[in-house]
Amino acid sequence: MTNLVEIRGLTVEATTDSGRWFQILKGIDLDIAAGETVAFIGESGSGKTTAAMTLLGYARPGCRISGGTVRVDGHDMVTLSEKERAALRGTVVAYVPQSAAAAFNPAATIMDQVIEVTRIHRLMPPDEARRRAVDLFRALSLPDPDGIGDRYPHQVSGGQLQRLAAAMALIGDPKVVIFDEPTTALDVTTQVEVLRAFKAVTAKRRIACVYVSHDLAVVAQIADRIMVLRNGAVQEIGSVDDILTRPTHPYTKELLHAFHPDTGGRIAAAEAFATNSVPLLEINTLSAGYGPPQSNGQPLVLAVKGVSLQVKRGTNLGIIGESGCGKSTLARAIAGILPASKGDIQFDGRELWHSARQRSREQLRDLQIVFQHADTALNPAKSIEDILGRPLTFYHGLRGKARDARVDALLDMVRLPRALRHRRPAELSGGQKQRVNFARALAAEPKLILCDEITSALDTVVAAAIIDLLKELQRELGLSYIFISHDLSVIEAICDEIIVMYRGQTVETIIPSARQQPQHPYSKLLFSSVPKLDPTWLDTLNLDADRMRVA
């Protein structure tokens, strides 16, 4: 046997609620050698996680492995009994989940959970396991490796928790590790550290890795080979260099293209930006935060500290910063969800109340907000028709035929088939849901739309399509957007002006059309942390200088 992992003709089937079975993986062949990293890349629903899970011999409830073989270190995971598979999981194959925060038990200390694998498989005495764990913590460059195990999961940061999840997977000394989008939920600045730690540890131990991701740039840093999946079938498989420089399949080309969003079309707006001086939204020294008011009238924790900004009619403002910098709080304060504690908001020439409750219906209609997670922003119990129809009835008094016609028009506007109107949100894909989420804001016919990280839960191709749609609608309807994101490429593609936020304050304003380079050390760090398609980027990156200056 030459390869550690050999997959031959693998098919997986899923069942629907009427009992019909259909294929979600349509015959996959793959070999992985020891110490090699193969990335599974594709949009959501392409079957990349399903394919990775078969290495554990696992199919999600309602799914089953219907054909083919998955040989891992000589064992066929498909034909083994559940008990035999369980014996291999953790010792031969291990898994690092997407959300470490959800994977840890909040009621037990980190150390107990990390060494659990050795306890279950009776690999070594607890004291030895703890020493091993500490070594792993050190190898993954976690701070305070001797003490971090005594903490509880909520006492460490998201990036640290993700590395701890990797330690949990590595403690049983597996030969294959599956990373399921481990950095998707992290900031760019944190992502760099986590990727480095993963790369160092797996290379040193010659562990074969399967890295599931939708981010081509991240994959370029960590993988040796890339397998591109779509609709459950392999589109293309090749070395990182081949895929990045000589893609042959149209879908791969599309993926690569999505990585360089089209910044054209902003020139006209940039001109408008220069000539048009009437601000649509003007904010002066706005502060907002959480907790009970203190003696000075300010809340206990101030998340936004005296931010001022302007949005001119027909132009877009981008707000960028890492999580916890106060960018979402700022959006909530503007929308009136979290009443600002200080400062004033001028909208369309009139002063706005801080609390949405006191604003008039007309003011609420003019300023819409689109939330990040379309899953929670759409009521799962209602049809798309009802979701889009409600603002039409509420703001414009439309009913019956007029309302139906307008719902159709809105679905056309966001490029969704009209037949979707009878479906429920759970029956749509992530990109479709986000389009519905956006169409609901359009239904109100607003002047300004606050987009809070609306593309960050989507994969690159879908996100690029949404951005194109947003630009097109802006040309047609004369909207303005405030675009909040931690993804620089998205913001650069659509915004006329970018504000960099750090610890509740704006540190810099950048106008991309003027080819302006960031000056502030934090902006520099942020901009340089965005992964590049160049496979050598991570190894040559030197962020420490920037990080020192920010600190």
Partner 1 sequence: MKTHSSTGSRASTGFIAARSGYRVNTVGLVSASVVIFWALVALFAPYIAPHSAGEMIDLDYFGPMRPGLWLGSDYLGRDMLSRLIFGARYTVGISLAAVTIACFTGVVLGMTSAVLRGPVDMVVSRLLDALNSIPSKLFGLMVVAAVGSSIPVLILTLSVIYIPGAYRFSRALAVNIDTMDFIMVARIRGEKLPYLIWSEILPNIIGPVLADLGLRFVFIVLLLSGLSFLGLGVQPPFADWGALVRENIGGLPFAAPAVIVPSLAIATLTISVNLLIDNLPQKIRDRSAS
Strand pairing report for 350-352 and 342-347 = antiparallel
The tally of CA atoms less than 13 A away on the side-chain side of residue 131 is 4
Determine the Cα–Cα distance for residues 78 and 72; give it in Å rounded to an integer. Answer: 10
Name the segment binding partner 1 (CB under 8 A); options: 10-18, 130-138, 173-181, 460-468.
Answer: 10-18
- Residue 431 Cβ vs partner 1, minimum distance, rounded to whole Å: 18
User: At 283, which helix (H) or strand (E)?
Assistant: strand 279-293
Q: Which of 67, 158, 279, 339 binds partner 1 (CB under 8 A)?
A: 67
DSSP letter (8 states) at residue 518: P
Choices 130-138, 331-339, 401-409, 524-532 (CB under 8 A): range interacting with partner 1: 331-339
The pair of structure tokens assigned to 361 is: 């219906």
- For partner 1, the closer of residues 127 and 362 by Cβ is 362
Q: In what order do the strands lie in the sheet containing 299-312?
A: 299-312, 279-293, 342-347, 350-352
Which CB sits closer to partner 1, 41 or 63? 63
Of 15, 294, 308, 519, the one binding partner 1 by CB under 8 A: 15
Of 17-25, 105-113, 133-141, 280-288, the window that binds partner 1 (rule: CB under 8 A) is 17-25
Of 64-72, 96-104, 156-164, 176-184, the segment contacting partner 1 by CB under 8 A is 64-72
Q: Which is nearer to partner 1, 380 or 397 (CB)?
A: 380
Supply angle C-alpha 303, 309, 310, rounded to 5: 145
Q: What is the C-alpha R_g of the chain?
A: 25
Residue nearer to partner 1 on the CB measure, 58 or 537:
58
Q: What residues between 355 and 414 interact with partner 1 by CB under 8 A?
A: 356, 359, 361, 364, 369, 371, 373, 376-382, 390-391, 394-395
Q: What would the x/- binding string for partner 1 be over residues 414 to 453, using CB under 8 A? A: ----------x--x------------x---x---------
Closest C-alpha to 141, from 119, 164, 124: 164
Pick between residue 264 and residue 397 the one whose CB is nearest to partner 1: 397
The CB-of-364 to partner 1 minimum distance in angstroms stands at 5
How many Cβ atoms are within 10 Å of 350's Cβ, its own excluded? 9
CB of 391 to partner 1, least distance (A): 6
Q: State in angstroms the smallest separation of the CB of 489 from partner 1.
A: 25
CB of 99 to partner 1, least distance (A): 18
Helix extents (H) in 92-147:
100-103, 110-114, 116-120, 126-139
Kindly tell me which of 337 and 402 has the beta carbon lying closer to partner 1.
337
CA distance 40 to 229: 7
**CB of 289 vs partner 1, minimal distance in Å:** 18
Cα angle 425, 430, 433; round to 5: 40
Beta-carbon neighbour count of residue 189 at 10 Å? 21
- Of 54 and 474, CB closest to partner 1: 54
Nearest to partner 1 of 17, 476 (CB atom): 17
**280, 312 in Cβ contact below 8 A?**
yes
Shortest spacing between CB 13 and partner 1, in angstroms = 8
Task: Output the CA torsion sign for 414, 419, 423, 428.
Answer: negative
Among 51, 335, 436, 495, indicate the residue that binds partner 1 (CB under 8 A).
335
Q: Residue 511 and residue 494: Cα distance in Å, rounded? A: 12
Nearer to partner 1, 18 or 542 (CB): 18
Beta bridge partners of 229: 234
Number of residues that bind partner 1 (CB under 8 A): 39
Which of 1, 2, 18, 122 lies at the binding interface for partner 1 (CB under 8 A)?
A: 18
Range 21-40, binding partner 1 (CB under 8 A): 21
- Is 16 one of the binding residues for partner 1 (CB under 8 A)? yes
294 or 355: CB nearest partner 1: 355
In angstroms, rounded to a whole number, what is the distance separating the alpha carbons of residues 183 and 456? 12
By residue count, the chain amounts to 551
Q: How far is CA 538 from the centre of its chain?
A: 20
Q: Residue 427, by phi and psi: left (phi above 0), alpha (psi -120 to 50) or beta?
A: alpha
CA 133-135-138 angle, 5° bins:
110
Q: Is 215 helix (H, G, I), strand (E, B) or coil?
A: coil
Stretch 69-88 residues interacting with partner 1 (CB under 8 A): 78-79
Nearer CB in complex with partner 1: 191/328: 328
Q: What phi and psi, each to the nearest 5 degrees, are found at residue 509?
A: -115, 130
Work out how close the CB of 517 gets to partner 1 at its nearest, in angstroms, rounded to a whole number.
36
- The CB-of-66 to partner 1 minimum distance in angstroms stands at 7
Q: Which residues bind partner 1 (CB under 8 A)?
A: 15-21, 59, 64-67, 78-79, 335-337, 356, 359, 361, 364, 369, 371, 373, 376-382, 390-391, 394-395, 424, 427, 440, 444
